[in-house]
Amino acid sequence: MISMEHPSIEIALRGMACMHVVITGPDHDLHSGVYGGAVANPVNILCKMIASLHDENNVINIPGLYDKVKEISAQERDKINGVPFNLKEYQEELGIEEVWGEKGYTVLERTGIRPALDVNGIGGGFTGEGAKTGEPSKVDAKSAVRLVPDQKPDGSGHHNTGLCDHNFLSNSFRIWSKISEIKRGCLCKTPSATKSYPRYLLNIAHLTCTCR
């Protein structure tokens, strides 16, 4: 719902392409006192991979991902940002001091008409109470790309390799990856929706959708 003063119904979100990546280094865990600094740690490598997924402007750093993303007109962007939204209340509700995202776009634009890439979880190594100075043999991560209209997750390999195409990966690592789930976002083009708002606004304009 947009707000208590503006009752509404959510009818769609962006599509998504999810990925599971497993990185394996040595065939068993190592003691950092003996091997640290001489053998690459899969957790460190995964962190490098994740850090490289966005550039300094928080643009997704995957070649080709934006090829099908349409540039929205100034008029359409004005409509998007005309939706009732209070940035301060948004930050307070989430317990954050500032928002984050692609430079040049507002919160409503980032969450409605722009793709997004997030790491949803990481597993590997020792995370229990106390200390254990081992280097894990294996680490894995799950990520998701949120897709906007005209992006085709089932036919776009660049959505699938965001965590794998990195020139600092050595031959000592084995990478296993797969697409775990794909969903298209609502691309509703019904007259009742497009008459008042462009289809890019559907996930924040809360119009009635007849898609099945």
E strand or H helix at 122, and its extent? Answer: strand 116-123
From the number of C-beta atoms within 10 Å of its C-beta (0-12, 13-18, 19+), residue 6 rates as exposed
pLDDT digits (tens, 9 = 90+) for 30-61: 999 999 999 889 899 889 888 888 999 999 98
**67-76, 102-111, 197-206, range with the lowest pLDDT:** 197-206
What pLDDT, on the 0 to 100 scale, is given for residue 164?
56
pLDDT digits (tens, 9 = 90+) for 148-199: 888 876 544 444 445 555 544 445 555 555 555 555 444 333 333 333 333 3
**61-70, 84-93, 109-118, 177-186, range with the lowest pLDDT:** 177-186
Of 72, 62, 51, residue with least CA distance to 150: 72
Confirm if 64 and 162 have CB atoms less than 8 A apart.
Answer: no
- Cα 176 to Cα 29: distance, rounded to the nearest angstrom: 18
User: What does pTM read for this prediction?
Assistant: 0.76
Beta strand residue intervals within 128-168, DSSP E? 134-135, 138-147
